[in-house]
Chains A and B, each alone.
Chain A
Amino acid sequence: MLTAALTIIFHGLAFAMVLYIVSVGLGITMGLMNFANLAHGAFAAAGGYVVVVATKALGWPFWAALPAAFVVVALTGAVIERLVVRTLYGADELRQVLFSIALLFMAIAGFTLAFGPLQQQPEIPAALSGQIGAGGLEFPAYRSFVIVAGVLILGALWLLIGRTRMGMRIRAAVDNRNMAEAIGVDTKLLFTMTFALGTGIAGLGGGIGADVLSITPTYGQEYLVLFLIVVAVGGLGSIFGPFVAALCIGIVDVAGKYLIPEFGAFFIYGVVIAILLAKPAGLFGVRS
Chain B
Amino acid sequence: MARTERVKSMSATYNAASGTGVSTPSTWRGLAMGRSGSDLVIASLLVLAGLATLLFGEPYWLLGAQVAITMIFALSVDLLVGFAGIVTLGHAVFFGLGAYTVGIASVHLGWTEPLSGLLLAGASAGLLGLGTGVLVLRTKGLGQLMLTMAFASLVYEIANRAKPVTGGADGLQGVIVAPIFGLFDFDIFGLTAFLYTLAVLGIVVLFAVLMTRSPYGRSLVGIRENRVRMQAIGTNVQQRLLSIYVVSAALAGVAGALLAQTSQFVGLNALHFGLSGEVLIIVALGGAGRLWGALLGAVVFSLFKDRLSALDPAYWYFWLGLLLAVIVLFAPKGLIGLVDRLMAALHPKEAQ
Contact = CB atoms under 8 A, between A and B. Distances in A.
B138 A101 contact: no
Contacts of B322: 102, 106
30 contacts: A30-B142, A36-B145, A90-B6, A91-B9, A92-B6, A93-B145, A94-B284, A95-B332, A97-B145, A98-B327, A101-B280, A101-B321, A106-B322, A107-B321, A108-B314, A108-B321, A109-B315, A178-B1, A217-B314, A221-B273, A225-B150, A232-B145, A236-B142, A266-B158, A269-B151, A269-B154, A273-B150, A276-B150, A281-B143, A288-B141
Contacts of A97: 87, 89, 145, 280
Interface in B305-333: 314-315, 317-318, 320-325, 327-329, 332
Given A109-B314, A232-B142, A232-B143, A262 B281 contact: no
B324 A228 contact: no
Contact of B280 (A34, A98, A108, A272): A98
B203 interface: no
A183 B261 CA distance: 63
B161 A229 contact: no
Contact of B328 (A36, A102, A107, A177): A102
- Of the candidates B281, B321, B329, the one having the most CB atoms from chain A within 10 angstroms of its own CB is B321
B160 interface: yes
- Of the candidates B288, B324, B328, the one having the most CB atoms from chain A within 10 angstroms of its own CB is B328
A84 interface: yes
B238 interface: no
A262 B158 CA distance: 10
A170 to B, nearest CB: 17
A272 B149 CA distance: 11
Interface of A: 30, 34, 36, 84, 87-88, 90-95, 97-99, 101-110, 112-113, 117, 176-178, 217, 221, 224-225, 228-229, 231-232, 236, 262-266, 269-270, 272-273, 276-277, 280-282, 288
Contacts, number: 149
B131 to A, nearest CB: 12
A270 B161 CA distance: 15
A288 B142 contact: yes
Interface of B: 1-2, 5-6, 9-10, 13, 81, 87, 89, 135, 138-143, 145-147, 149-151, 153-154, 157-158, 160-161, 273-274, 277, 280-281, 284, 288, 314-315, 317-318, 320-325, 327-329, 332
Main secondary structure, interface of B, reads helix
Nearest to A90: B5
Contacts of A112: 314, 317
Contacts of B2: 34
Main secondary structure, interface of A, reads helix
A29 B140 CA distance: 18
B280 A106 contact: no
A266 B328 contact: no
Nearest to A226: B153
A99 B328 contact: yes
Nearest to B320: A105
A179 B229 CA distance: 27
A228 B146 CA distance: 7
A264 B161 contact: yes
